[in-house]
């Protein structure tokens, strides 16, 4: 698919935007637009295959070498700005100032747009130019919707995804789930982490250069660029897109080389419009509020003995989560977690709340949810390579695991557990959630598990009276 077919106009000599545009952290008043300038207008094709870790040995690759890898999008210095407005032709467009980008930020910039109107469709164009501003580059056009006002009962649709391993792509232009999600017409997507895999596929990232290559290769695919310039995304991180499997702060990478946990955090924040605080909450109209938690940055080392001081969320985040959940008057409260809280999970895993390794915190959270949020509260999670709808036997807390991005990446389930599961499927796909007003001051929430082509394989819904405002 040519870039011109996905909202990109090309110029002859200026910098490109081969890694597309991402729109994130949208509220009813604001948004962040992520951009990156590249030397070319498209990803590298017909180049060289990245060397395997075995062939590379301890050698650290250079930027010049990575620039020749298939899927690479070498960055380029230049200037960039955004024009945005509510008219498709940007006749009412507001232009930001031109911003210079360079290697210090991997040629990225995040524009914070404020003063927006609630429940409106906005259109934008990101425009690039050479460092001197004399030669124009590419223009990427896109659109997004702001959240409805908090007092407005509104229909809202969103999707939840995880597990995007490049070697398990099911189409050359990008995962099947991208056009499938677009057909559900969501206002936003939530990426729960494992957006890329530094450690489990080649080239295994033992340096920041290779870690950034993983983002270039994944998010320059045509289907991915096309969807992300049109749909709001909220981003969470998990182990594989920070350092390596089951990692925690200070953990030494098993790949060797120079990549550290702290560098992984910095790179994630460069590559996603995720805002300054890793845990946050967003309101979408009268009936829906979502919470995004952070499961790596504050966790205790996984091998420590379990106990009251062993935590994934950390003291501050847990207090924030409980406070904001209790303060919310939304009809439906959906906690979106990078890892399972209910499960069950495999017996050999030791890094989430469904495992004995963090049983104390997991039991405390589930008991608190059951006591303080007896109705209208649900968990959606990523991480696991299968889809499930679970109900915790002791507390009744419900969890929906979205499943991996492709059938090729599915596997590892311990099997259906009748004590927990209302649905279990070891295949790829995504979770689609819909909230809609119902006559009589009521609202309905529907959770749909869909396969990689968007077909519904399981559906569960609940209707409840709209809660009185605080």
> Same domain, yes or no, for 28 and 163?
no
> Same domain, yes or no, for 270 and 316?
yes
> Same domain, yes or no, for 180 and 288?
yes
pLDDT of residue 1: 32
3-state secondary structure 327-352: HCCCCEEEEEECCCCCCCCCCCCCCC
Looking at the structure of the chain, the number of domains it has is: 2
Share of the chain above pLDDT 70, in %: 97
Read off the CATH number of the domain in which 121 is found: 2.60.40.380
Q: How far is CA 462 from the centre of its chain?
A: 26
> Same domain, yes or no, for 252 and 321?
yes
- pLDDT above 60: residue 9: no
Q: For residue 254, what pLDDT band results from cuts at 50, 70 and 90?
A: confident
pLDDT of residue 6: 39
> Same domain, yes or no, for 15 and 128?
yes
> Same domain, yes or no, for 318 and 197?
yes
Read off the CATH number of the domain in which 324 is found: 3.60.21.70
Asked whether residue 126 is assigned to any structural domain, the reply reads: yes
Asked whether residue 269 is assigned to any structural domain, the reply reads: yes
**Average pLDDT of the chain?**
95
Asked whether residue 432 is assigned to any structural domain, the reply reads: yes
Angle at which helices 261-271 and 208-219 cross, to 10°: 30
Q: In sequence order, what are the beta bridge partners of 337? A: 381
Asked whether residue 386 is assigned to any structural domain, the reply reads: yes
Strand pairing category for 188-191 and 232-235: parallel
pLDDT of residue 8: 55
Last residue in a domain, options 107, 122, 145: 145
> Same domain, yes or no, for 120 and 258?
no
> Same domain, yes or no, for 410 and 461?
yes
Q: 249-270 burial, b if ≥16 CB within 10 A, otherwise e?
A: bebebebebebbbebbbebbbb
Last residue in a domain, options 145, 173, 188: 145
pLDDT of residue 252: 86
> Same domain, yes or no, for 198 and 110?
no
> Same domain, yes or no, for 96 and 182?
no
Short-list 73, 70, 67, 63, CA closest to 49? 70
> Same domain, yes or no, for 101 and 207?
no
The C-alpha atoms of residue 11 and residue 457 are separated, in whole angstroms, by 45
Per-residue pLDDT tens digits for 358-388: 999 999 999 999 999 989 999 999 999 999 9
Asked whether residue 63 is assigned to any structural domain, the reply reads: no
Which structural domain range is residue 119 located in? 3-39+75-145
CB atoms near residue 383 (< 10 Å): 25
Per-residue pLDDT tens digits for 107-137: 999 999 999 999 999 999 999 999 999 999 9
Last residue in a domain, options 145, 166, 196: 145
> Same domain, yes or no, for 198 and 262?
yes
pLDDT of residue 2: 37
Omega before 344 within 30 of 0, i.e. cis: yes
């Amino acid at each position: 698919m040519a870039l011109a077919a996905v909202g990109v106009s090309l110029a002859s000599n200026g910098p490109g935007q081969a890694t597309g545009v991402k729109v994130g952290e949208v509220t009813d008043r604001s948004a962040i637009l992520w951009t990156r300038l590249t030397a070319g207008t498209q990803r590298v094709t017909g180049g060289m295959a990245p060397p395997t870790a075995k062939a590379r040995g301890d050698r650290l690759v250079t930027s010049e070498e990575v620039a020749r890898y298939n899927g690479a999008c070498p960055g380029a210095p230049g200037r960039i700005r955004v024009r945005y407005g509510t008219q498709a032709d940007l006749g009412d467009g507001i232009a930001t100032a031109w911003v210079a980008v360079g290697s210090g930020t991997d040629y990225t910039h995040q524009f914070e747009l404020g003063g927006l109107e609630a429940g409106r469709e906005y259109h934008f164009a990101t425009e690039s130019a050479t460092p001197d501003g004399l030669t124009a580059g590419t223009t990427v056009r896109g659109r997004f919707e702001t959240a409805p006002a908090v007092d407005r009962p509104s229909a809202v649709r969103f999707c939840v995804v995880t597990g995007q391993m490049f070697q398990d792509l099911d189409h050359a232009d990008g995962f099947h789930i991208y056009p499938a999600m677009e057909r559900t017409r969501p206002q936003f997507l939530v990426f729960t982490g494992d957006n890329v895999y530094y450690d489990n596929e080649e080239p295994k990232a033992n340096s920041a250069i290779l870690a950034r290559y993983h983002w270039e290769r994944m998010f320059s695919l045509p289907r991915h660029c096309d969807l992300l310039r049109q749909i709001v995304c909220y981003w969470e991180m998990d182990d594989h897109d920070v350092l390596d499997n089951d990692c925690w702060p200070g953990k030494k990478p098993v790949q060797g080389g120079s990549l550290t946990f702290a560098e992984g955090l910095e790179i994630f924040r460069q590559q996603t419009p995720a805002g300054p605080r890793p845990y946050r909450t967003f309101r979408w109209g009268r009936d829906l509020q979502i919470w995004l938690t952070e499961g790596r940055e504050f966790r205790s080392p996984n091998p420590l003995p379990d106990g009251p001081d062993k935590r994934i969320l950390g003291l501050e985040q847990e207090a924030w989560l409980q406070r904001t959940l209790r303060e919310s008057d939304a009809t439906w409260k959906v906690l979106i977690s990078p890892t399972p809280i209910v499960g069950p999970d495999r017996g050999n895993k030791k890094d989430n709340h469904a495992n004995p390794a963090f049983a104390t915190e997991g039991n405390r959270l589930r008991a608190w949810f059951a006591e303080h949020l007896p109705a209208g509260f649900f968990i959606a999670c990523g991480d696991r390579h299968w889809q499930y709808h679970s109900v915790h036997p002791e507390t009744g807390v419900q969890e929906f695991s979205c499943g991996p991005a492709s059938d090729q990446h599915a596997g590892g389930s311990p099997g259906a557990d009748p004590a927990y599961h209302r649905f279990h499927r070891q295949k790829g796909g995504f979770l689609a959630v819909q909230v809609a007003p119902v006559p009589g001051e009521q609202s309905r929430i529907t959770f749909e598990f869909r396969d990689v082509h968007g077909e519904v394989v399981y559906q569960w819904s609940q209707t409840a009276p709209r809660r009185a405002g605080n």
